[in-house]
Amino acid sequence: MSNEFMSEYEPLLIKGIKDKKRLKLPNKSLPLAVFAACVGGTFQYGYNISIINGPTKYVQNFINHTWMERYHTNISENGLTLLWSTIVSIFTLGGLIGVSIGGTLSVRLGRKGTLLTNNIFSLTAALLMGLSSTAGSFELLIIGRLLCGVNAGIALCVQPLYLGEIAPTALRGATGMGTSVFITGGILTGQVMGLKEVLGKEEYWPILLSTTFIPAVLQLIILPWFPESPRYLLIDKGDDEGCKKALRQLHGLSECDAALEDIKKERNNLVGFHARKPWELFSDGSVRWQLLTIVLLNMAQQLNGINAIYFYADYVFRQSGIPSERIPYATVGTGACECITALTCGLLIECLGRKVLITGGYILMSVCCILFTLTLTFQDVSPIFPYLSMACVFAFILSFGLGPGGVTNILTAELFTQTARPAAFMISGSINWLSFFFIGLIFPFIVLGFQQYCFLVFLMVCSLVAIYIFFVVPETKNKTFVEIQKDFQSFNKRKSRGSDGASSILLSTPL
């Protein structure tokens, strides 16, 4: 009886032992490499999104003053709005340019080499924006913001690629969460730096905008001490010794051999394949569902209503009785909330898995959309509703940070093999930036037309994406890239058999 019991439960015992091994703490070099990659990478994206909001009035005064000195007349209100909108929104154009070249650079210069080279854009931007007031040129601000966007676009493309490739399989999700943690950390830092007690006074705005050089310098000092992506070294460059050395530094001696074996398996599966171009992925039926998944998830990341929540946050804070001069501090609270949830997601992702977190996040956001619509509709009915609206703001941000905000980039890294991954990031990044631009363009009209009912539009987006993920996207936790690829291949075969069966039924049906 005992032998039968042991034989029945032996696989479960072995799996439990393996899981314990998988949860082993990483080698100390790995988190330091993540910090080095992220501080000059996606941290810059978050920082440059939020830092521009603080000195809005001061920069507009500078534009007006410069215009007066040049043309001896005040700039028109429409002209001022156009120039300010250009300074803010050209960041998006720069991001689109950056992501379109990031994948190619990551193949030619390597992941680490691209991240280091990318700091040229950040340092140049800091110099131009810092000198803009002294030079009396708002054009320098426009060029500086464009270069900041290029820097952010390359970082969003290459940094998740680097993190996904340097991490052990069991820690790939937690490592990949560095992208989200540092984006939210950048947003929070930008909000804090813009407070009047720090650099939020009028005379400091050029210094405030030029502080983007600090993360760039940090990365240039720290990242060279860490290796290139082991997968890039072995699969793309054929450098066996370099790969082994990188794995020893990042994973430690005990985990090095298993990681090397995993990379070799992927290399053997890719014999004869070259680095793919984005348009080649669109014509490849074997990655159709992976491609559709990352396109939908990256569109949803911008179109799910998170931008609308931040838009309504000021209104909700005012309705709740917070004085206008204190609203920036409440806004810092929303940034801190998102940062904390990103950290929480990083702790939970290897326990609960990607699918649970991202599906659960979108379901909770759907619920928040309904509740926020109701609380905004009955805002004047009772004094309690403004506070309920404020609770909905924080609940929505928590739900976004726990799932969609962090898991989307991780899935983009995990759903593709080495030769297709850079092209996949170029596609997903382009979709993300285009969606960012699109929502910025049409959002004012959505609010104008639907008012508080605009959240019903976002409810539909969140609900549909949650349903798609539940039925289509497999769990990728603790799976190698080759295993994930096989999951999708079997899914593609089932879909093909289903469509073939439907076709044969239609053909065999008498007319």
244-255 per-position pLDDT tens digit: 999 999 998 888
Q: Can you give the pLDDT at residue 255?
A: 80
Q: What is the mean pLDDT of residues 205-215?
A: 96
Output the pLDDT for position 27: 76
- Which region holds residue 321: left if phi is over 0, alpha if psi is between -120 and 50, else beta? left
Q: Give the pLDDT confidence score for residue 505 in this predicted structure.
A: 47
pLDDT confidence of residue 14:
44
Residue 315 has pLDDT above 80, yes or no: no
Residue 95, pLDDT above cutoff 80: yes
pLDDT at 299 over 80: yes
Half-sphere exposure of 506 (CA within 13 A, CB side): 6
The pLDDT of residue 18 is above 50: no
Whether 405 contacts 272, CB under 8 Å: no
Q: What is the pLDDT of residue 145?
A: 96
Rounded to the nearest angstrom, the gap between the alpha carbon of residue 402 and the centroid of all alpha carbons in its chain is: 13
Q: What is the pLDDT of residues 423-469, one digit of tens each?
A: 999 999 999 999 888 887 787 778 778 887 888 989 999 999 999 99
**How do residues 393-433 score in pLDDT, each as one tens digit?**
899 999 998 889 889 989 988 999 888 899 999 999 999 99
470-502 pLDDT tens trace: 999 999 998 888 888 888 877 766 766 665 554
**pLDDT score for 12:** 39
Q: Looking at 304-403, list the stretches that DSSP marks H as alpha helix, in order from N- to C-terminal side.
A: 306-319, 327-352, 354-377, 384-402
Band (25; pLDDT cuts 50, 70, 90): low
Q: Could you tell me the pLDDT band of residue 26, with boundaries at 50, 70 and 90?
A: low
Amino acid at 202: E
8 A C-beta contact, residue 260 and residue 247: yes
Q: Quick one: pLDDT at residue 75?
A: 92
Q: Is the pLDDT of residue 141 over 80?
A: yes
Percent of the chain scored above 70 by pLDDT? Answer: 90
pLDDT value of residue 498: 60
The pLDDT assigned to 308 comes to 76
Amino acid present at 503: S
Burial classification of residue 318, based on how many CB atoms lie within 10 Å of its CB (0-12 exposed, 13-18 middle, 19 or more buried): middle
Res 500: pLDDT: 54
Average pLDDT, the chain: 87
Is residue 87 classed as helix, strand or coil in its secondary structure? helix
pLDDT of residue 428: 93
> What type of residue sits at position 127?
L
User: What is the rounded CA–CA span in Å between residue 172 and residue 174?
Assistant: 6
Buried b (16+ CB within 10 A) or exposed e, 99-127: bbebbbbbbebbbbbbbbebbebbbbbbe
Give me 382's structure tokens: 């009772």
Given pLDDT bands bounded at 50, 70 and 90, which one contains residue 120? very high
Higher pLDDT, 224 or 10: 224
Interior angle at CA 405, CA 403 and CA 407, nearest 5: 55
CB contact set of 199 (below 8 Å; sequence gap of 6+): 193, 205, 207, 208, 211
Alpha helices (H) in 213-305, listed in sequence order = 213-222, 230-231, 240-251, 253-269, 278-282, 288-303
Distance of CA 144 to the CA centre of its chain: 22
CB 415 within 8 A of CB 492: no
Q: What percent of the chain has pLDDT over 90?
A: 55
Say whether pLDDT at 207 is over 90.
yes
CA distance 270 to 496: 23
Classify the C-alpha dihedral 259-261-262-268 as positive or negative: positive
Q: What does the pLDDT look like over 341-378, one tens digit per residue?
A: 999 898 899 899 999 999 999 999 999 999 999 998 88
Q: Report the 10 Å Cβ neighbour count for 191.
A: 25
Average pLDDT over residues 195-217: 95
Q: Residue 379's pLDDT band (boundaries 50, 70, 90)? A: confident
C-alpha closest to that of 161 among 335, 48, 38: 38
